[in-house]
Each structure stands twice: as structure tokens, then as C-alpha cells.
Amino acid sequence: IPQKLNQQFFSAVCGQANLNTRIVGGQNAPPGFWPWQVSLQTSAHFCGGSLINNQWVLTAAHCFPSRSASGVNVLLGLQSLQGSNPNMVSRTITTLVVHPSYNSVTSDNDIALLQLSSPVTLTPYITPVCLASTSSNFYSGINTWVTGWGNTGSGISLPSPQTLQEVQVPIVGNRQCQCNYNTVSITSNMVCAGLPEGGKDSCQGDSGGPLVIKQNNRWIQAGIVSFGEGCALPNYPGVYSRVSRYETWINAQITSNQPGFIAFTSTGTDSDLSKKKFCRSSKLQC
């Protein structure tokens, strides 16, 4: 990659997982399938994140409760938490930017940016993801993928997976998601995804990682793993920070070599608008 990049460079190269021909309830991800996935580590993996240009990573604010990134390593091109990782590179963090309106109680604006100590060279195993632009819309039932090294079960003693996991989950509209969570506020800065019957979800350790969706052979990040009620429980979809709400903020922090933003447009009918009967049955005014 040339040292002086064209401002549109990452819009042209983002979201291309050339090795990808197609968590809880998930499966091992082959090497290079999700080349933007990063692991945040101190003595061990604690959160995920996504590469969005050659020197910045997107993650969740709650991964840094002390507002300090001291001693944190960012591992890119990683496949397994143990053993050989021939495509891996490591960087430290020079700048941590937590969203100024992040609320640790409500999890609203659960988003942060990490500036790496030096740029990384892009390879088939290390590639930035595209980000959903402000005009994106995500209808209920649209399939997404979430990836990470988090726990493979909730409330049980299962070891964390050593190999990167992938799982497919459909979008759950905010109206339905609010009905599911009842007293927890699902704001417009959030997007939900999961199966009504449960069984597939992100979990502890996946925090900060990407929820992505494919459009015209480009992968677009729609969400950042934020919170949930347990993991993979019926009628409790995972809740993610809605990336499309933060295009202006991200571009204000990253003034050169800005990430590629792409509008995701859902087709069909937004079935979330037809959930009023369910809401009434739970005594909610949705």
C-alpha cells in the first residue's frame, strides 16, 4: 500500500473477503474468511474489534471501562488463540477514542475507536471492512454474520473456543426487540439480531466484534457486539451498536485515509412494522 493513499482508497478496497466463498450455535471460521476481525488482548483475549482502514480499529466502548488502552495488544490476521498463526501481526494502541455520549448503564453509544501504533500492510488475511453509511436500513429477517472468540454457551462452564467462530443470525427490528427486552431501552443507536428460538448468538468475549452483512460481494459492518440477556436465549436477540448512526462521528476522528462507508438497502417489506399484536400481548405500547 502506498504511503500516501487516495482519500477514496478504503471505499474501493473495504469489505472484500476474497477467501470467503460464503460463537454460540456457530462453527469454526476458515482462515481469511473474516480478514477485518481483530483480537484485543492483555494476558489473554478479552474483546473483539474490526479493522476499518490501515491504522484504525472499531470496537465497543465497554471493552475499556477504565478508559485506558495501556498494555492492550491488537492482533490482526489471527485464526487461533493458540498455536501457529502465520498471517498474524500485532500492534499496540496509541489512541483510544470512546464516544463522548457513551452510557455505561444503558449501553447507549457503545462504540470506540483505536488508533494502532503503526499502519498494517493489507493482505488477503488482513483487510478492512466497509461500514454502513447513515442512509442504510436493515429490515427484520435480513441475515447477518457475527464472529468472535467469545464463550460458546451462557451460564455453563464451557471453554472459550480457540478457533475464530462464525454464526448467522437474522436482524430483529427495533420495535420487536424493544418488546422482547421490555424494560431495557433499545434506542435508535442500537440494532438487534437473533433467532426467536435462540441457540445462536454472540456472547461474552465477542464484545466489540463485528456484525456484518453482504451486499454486491462487499461485506458491510452493521453492528458492534454490545449486550444481551444471557447468550442465545429464546426471545432475547443480541443487541449491537448501530454503526450507521456514527458515520459523522467516525469521520470526525479519522481525518485522513477515512474508512469506506456504503449504504446498505434492504429489499422487500420491513416486517418489524407488523409486530403490534405481539407487543400488546406483553402489555407494551410499541
Which residues on adjacent β-strands are paired with residue 131? 221, 261
Q: Let me know how long the chain is.
A: 286
Per the annotation, the verdict on 207 as an active-site residue is yes
Cα-Cα-Cα-Cα dihedral of 217, 222, 225, 230, to 10°?
A: -100
Residue 221, SS3 per DSSP: strand
From 108, 110, 206, 272, the catalytic residue:
110
Per the annotation, the verdict on 281 as an active-site residue is no
At residue 212, φ and ψ (nearest 5 deg) are -120, 160
From 207, 226, 241, 244, the catalytic residue:
207
Say if CB 244 and CB 133 are below 8 A apart: yes
From 39, 45, 62, 108, the catalytic residue:
62
From CA 272, how far away is CA 286, in angstroms rounded?
Answer: 11
> For cell 467469545, what's the residue?
150
Name the residue type at position 143.
N
Going by C-alpha positions, the residue among 191, 124, 154 that lies closest to residue 23 is 154
- Helix or strand holding residue 278 (H, E): helix 276-281
Per the annotation, the verdict on 110 as an active-site residue is yes
> b or e along 88-114 (b: 16 or more beta carbons within 10 Å of the residue's beta carbon)?
ebbbebeebbbbeebeeeebbbbbbbb
Beta strands in 123-196 (DSSP E): 130-132, 143-148, 165-172, 190-193
Which residues are catalytic, by number? 62, 110, 207
